[in-house]
């Protein structure tokens, strides 16, 4: 199953309107796809973004589709074991080159959610066929809301949910029915609505201390690597998740890895703990950067003007690399990273409005 659309390809599209160029102050290692909203797919007009080293006015080779737009530019408690035209497949490179993140900018969060569902469903099919399992890591915050289109047709019927294994990139050490629980957030908004086997949803053991819960979760992951439910990176010697769906805080934190906190430098543990989180509640467990950066695919979702600052820091130019935000430390060793943003989150990447 590939991305499909009735929109004509770039080569058959009408000439671009004059004045349609925008210059984005981006890192040269980032490729950009700016997605222009349209009243209907048939009337969509692509907007080209010049990328350093490319010829002005020339789209990158094949323009794949996503979300009806044209792209250019390139619960198991671990310790207890309880309970037209078709685009390239998701996870393949769209011309950005190995290791280079791609930036997708949508006109609205609604359009972003539609595209994120297609992206996730494509990867689900790919890994279910290749490995017989699909390992998915989710985060808290608004990310779960952005997955809502997976609960609708055609995905809710077509996805092989029995192949899904769900994990959390971080979790608050609170009871599972607590309002601060990432498990509760995901269960109420997503997991309770799809037929993933309960034994393939890996929640923390909330009866343990933060340190004990982190040790327990890491032990669980190591067992799942042994049984090949999880992949393993021979390059990094850390687990290799098929897909991480990550959000980002307004301060640029990812998972429970916060700016200037010593845990951002942890490089041996798979899962660690924090007792002094600058954002309540204070006690949490979190994946470490070596695990995050060993993923096969990461979708980093950032929406709203409150995320514009860290998006600019992460993707812009002229920032001191000695003072990195955690989101800037997300750098896949051997995988593909895609930013899903709306125009508000990307608004500081240049002086004019994106759309």
pLDDT digits (tens, 9 = 90+) for 329-348: 999 999 999 999 999 999 99
Type and span of the H or E element at 214: helix 210-226
8 A C-beta contact, residue 218 and residue 270: yes
Res. 94: pLDDT tops 80: no
- Would you state the structure tokens that stand for residue 167, as one six-digit string? 């994990």
pLDDT tens digits along 265-290: 999 999 999 999 999 999 999 999 99
Of 29-43, 157-171, 307-321, give the range with the top mean pLDDT.
157-171
pLDDT tens digits along 212-265: 999 999 999 999 999 999 999 999 999 999 999 999 999 999 999 999 999 999
Rounded CA-CA distance 208/216 in Å is 9
The predicted pLDDT at position 32 comes to 58
Res. 63: pLDDT tops 90: no
Instruction: Give the residue with greater pLDDT, 275 vs 37.
Output: 275
DSSP-assigned beta bridge partners for residue 135:
165
Of 24-33, 36-45, 172-181, give the range with the top mean pLDDT.
172-181
Fold adopted by 63-349: Rossmann fold (3.40.50)
Instruction: Give the residue with greater pLDDT, 37 vs 333.
Output: 333
8 A C-beta contact, residue 30 and residue 315: yes
The predicted pLDDT at position 324 comes to 92
Res. 77: pLDDT tops 60: no
Instruction: Give me the chain's average pLDDT, please.
Output: 78
The predicted pLDDT at position 325 comes to 95
Q: Where are the domains of the chain?
A: 63-349
* Positive or negative: CA dihedral 209, 210, 215, 221: positive
Rounded CA-CA distance 311/348 in Å is 8
Contacts of 3 (CB under 8 A, 6+ apart): 64, 65, 66, 86, 87, 88, 90, 118, 122
Nearest to 128 by CA among 161, 163, 91: 163
């Amino acid at each position: 199953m590939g991305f499909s659309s009735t929109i004509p390809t770039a080569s058959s599209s009408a000439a671009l309107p004059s004045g349609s160029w925008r210059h984005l102050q981006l890192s040269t290692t980032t490729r950009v796809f700016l997605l222009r909203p349209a009243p209907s797919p048939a009337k969509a007009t692509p907007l080209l973004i010049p990328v350093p080293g490319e010829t002005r006015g020339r789209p990158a080779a094949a323009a794949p589709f996503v979300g009806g737009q044209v792209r250019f530019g390139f619960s198991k408690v671990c310790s207890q074991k309880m309970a037209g035209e078709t685009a390239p497949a998701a996870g393949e490179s769209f011309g950005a080159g190995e290791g280079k993140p791609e930036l997708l900018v949508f006109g609205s969060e609604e359009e972003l959610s539609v595209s994120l569902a297609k992206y996730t469903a494509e990867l689900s099919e790919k890994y279910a066929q290749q490995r017989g399992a699909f390992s998915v890591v989710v985060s808290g915050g608004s990310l779960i809301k952005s997955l809502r289109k997976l609960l609708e047709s055609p995905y809710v019927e077509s996805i092989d949910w029995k192949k899904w294994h769900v994990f959390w990139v971080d979790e608050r050490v609170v009871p599972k029915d607590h309002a601060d629980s990432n498990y509760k957030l995901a269960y109420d908004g997503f997991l309770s609505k799809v037929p993933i086997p309960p034994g393939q949803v890996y929640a923390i053991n909330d009866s343990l201390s933060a340190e004990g819960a982190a040790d327990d979760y890491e032990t669980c992951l190591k067992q799942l690597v042994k049984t090949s439910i999880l992949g393993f990176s021979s390059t990094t010697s850390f687990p290799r998740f098929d897909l991480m769906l990550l959000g980002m805080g307004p301060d640029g934190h990812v998972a429970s890895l916060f700016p200037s906190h010593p845990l951002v430098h942890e490089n041996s543990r798979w899962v660690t703990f924090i007792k002094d989180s600058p954002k309540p509640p204070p006690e949490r467990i979190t994946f470490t950067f070596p695990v995050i950066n060993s993923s096969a695919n990461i979708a980093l979702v950032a929406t709203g003007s409150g995320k514009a600052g860290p998006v600019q820091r992460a993707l812009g130019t002229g920032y001191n690399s000695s003072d990195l935000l955690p989101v800037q430390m997300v750098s896949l060793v051997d995988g593909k990273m895609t930013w899903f943003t709306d125009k508000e989150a990307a608004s500081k990447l240049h002086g004019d409005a994106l759309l």
